[in-house]
Amino acid sequence: MVTRFAVLAVAFLAAFMAPVVADDRPLLLGTTTSVDNSGLLGPLLKAFRDETGIEVRTVVRGSGAILQLGRSGDFDVVLVHHPDAERAFVAGGDGLGRYPVMTSRFLIVGPDNDPAGVRAAPDAAAAMERIADEILFVHKGRLIERGDADSFFDAPQSEEGRAFVAGELLW
């Protein structure tokens, strides 16, 4: 998967390198903090340099800042993750084209027995609400009580839970 992504990203960068080759200057890439923090940028840029001989310098900011700097002509390539803003950037004549190279996937993970019922949630927001409604009461590194938040604060089942709700439990 990473190799496939690397090939796509290198091809993406190579498609825009013609102006750089002509004047032998580094390619200037504006990208986002999340792309930079992913850990993929370093290996991709090395593969690009190894394949093309072109050095790439990066500027890392949020998508909005990168696109604004791109509008000013400060970059050869922008790599951001805001599809609507990207489309507007190209439609406004600030970019030659929009070429999706990756997507983000967010996973909610948890125990096999799914005590909060996350698997049955209709969407991520509902799943997060179910998780937030669940409480784990831990005291001195030991799990004391587990259950839904309303029940815990209305009628804790453990002595420590009752003391906590009463404001009498010292940590």
Same domain, 23 and 64: yes
Pairwise CA distance, residues 99 & 61, whole Å: 20
In terms of Cα–Cα distance, which of 18, 152, 28 is closest to 79?
A: 28
Same domain, 79 and 156: no
* pTM as predicted: 0.56
Domain of residue 125, residue span: 118-165
Bridge partners for 135 per DSSP? 147
Q: Say what the pLDDT of residue 4 is.
A: 46
Per-residue pLDDT tens over the stretch 115-156: 788 999 999 999 988 887 777 778 777 778 877 777 888 888
What residues of the chain score a pLDDT lower than 70? 1-23, 170-171
Per the structure, the count of domains in the chain is 2
Q: Say what the pLDDT of residue 161 is.
A: 84
Task: Please indicate, yes or no, if residue 19 is contained in any of the structural domains.
Answer: yes
Task: Please indicate, yes or no, if residue 104 is contained in any of the structural domains.
Answer: no
